Homo-oligomer: A and B are copies of this chain.
Amino acid sequence: MTFETQFRGNAARTEALLTKLLSSETRADEITRPENLAEAMRHGVLNGGKRLRPFLVIETASLLNGDAEVALRVGAALECLHCYSLVHDDLPAMDNDDLRRGQPTVHRKFDEATAILAGDSLLTLAFDIIAAPETHLPDDRKAALVLALARAAGIGGMAGGQALDLAAEKTAPDEAGIITLQAMKTGALIRFACEAGAIIAGSDDVERHRLRNFGEKIGLAFQLADDLLDLTSDAATMGKATGKDAGRSKGTLVALRGAEWATARLRELVKEATDLLALYGDRADILIETAKFVAERKN
């Protein structure tokens, strides 16, 4: 099976599960799900995303013989959390974006209050999905997933990275500052995606650390490729405003070091990621393809 077929297949399975998880049907323990809010949550999630983070959860779990159904659910949980961050980042008080993947952002299609609540509810839902009885995983692994996800998403991770990003609009960070910002804002969730596979599989600390390191490389490559794309792509390909990071004087490593350096660094990162998984032989091929895909992606 080619990488692309596998990638699309996982995305379709993730999409189907997300559609189910975000339905308006209430559970026995609920009074109601306000329809407007449920719609806003679906608009924020079911928007044709690439589902890269779920893919990483599913494929790292598969490499380590973790349960595939559990990995699908944890991937969906992670995607809900990722999408909450996009909904909140798009808000007028943050990046003030009108479009996301060519569609109106949640606060444009609904309103600001609903977008804030949709984000809050998606963040909450991520933990619901992991802890739910339908996630057939020993409780110690559930607790480990909740903890690792909360730390990847909170002040020491993604949300902290977004705070640094806002501060960077006022005072341009130096190279070390950019690296910290990116490791937190985009790196933390991608790293968690790979670590999650190891947690699901019940890996020992060494293996968990290895997959975490692999995720770190992927995260760095993802951000570097994004910065390169932002420099070269146009709004039609990206489906969102581009060139904006430069316009807002937010520093990127590409702006600081140049496109040539970035391209070489991307090659290096793919090599480092590949080396980390060498001991798994060709069973790791799909993840190594993913590293290349992330480094070379065109949108």
Contact = CB atoms under 8 A, between A and B. Distances in A.
A284 interface: no
A114 interface: yes
A72 to B, nearest CB: 19
A91 B117 contact: no
Q: Please tell me how many copies of the chain the complex holds.
A: 2
Task: State which size class the interface on A falls in.
Answer: 35 or more
A37 B140 contact: no
A116 B142 contact: no
A70 interface: no
Interface stretch (A154-162, A249-257, A258-266): A154-162
A14 B268 CA distance: 49
Given A123-B123, A153-B124, A37 B114 contact: no
A119 B27 CA distance: 27
Contacts of A36: 163, 167
Dominant secondary structure of chain A at its interface with chain B? helix
A295 B127 CA distance: 33
A33 interface: yes
A285 to B, nearest CB: 30
Interface in A117-137: 117, 119-121, 123-125, 127-128, 130-133
Given A93-B113, A132-B147, A156-B33, A119 B121 contact: no
Contacts of A88: 116-117, 120
A156 B32 contact: yes
Contacts of A180: 31-32
A276 interface: no
B154 A128 contact: yes
A234 interface: no
Contacts of A30: 151, 156-157
Contacts of A163: 34, 36-37, 114, 117
Q: List 5 tightest A-B contacts by C-beta distance, closest first.
A: A30-B156, A93-B112, A128-B150, A139-B139, A131-B147
22 contacts: A26-B156, A27-B151, A27-B156, A31-B156, A31-B180, A32-B160, A32-B180, A33-B156, A34-B163, A34-B164, A38-B155, A93-B116, A94-B113, A117-B159, A120-B120, A121-B155, A124-B155, A124-B159, A131-B146, A132-B147, A142-B142, A142-B146
Interface of A: 26-27, 29-34, 36-38, 41, 84, 88, 91, 93-94, 111-114, 116-117, 119-121, 123-125, 127-128, 130-133, 138-140, 142-144, 146-147, 149-151, 153-157, 159-160, 162-164, 166-167, 180, 183-184
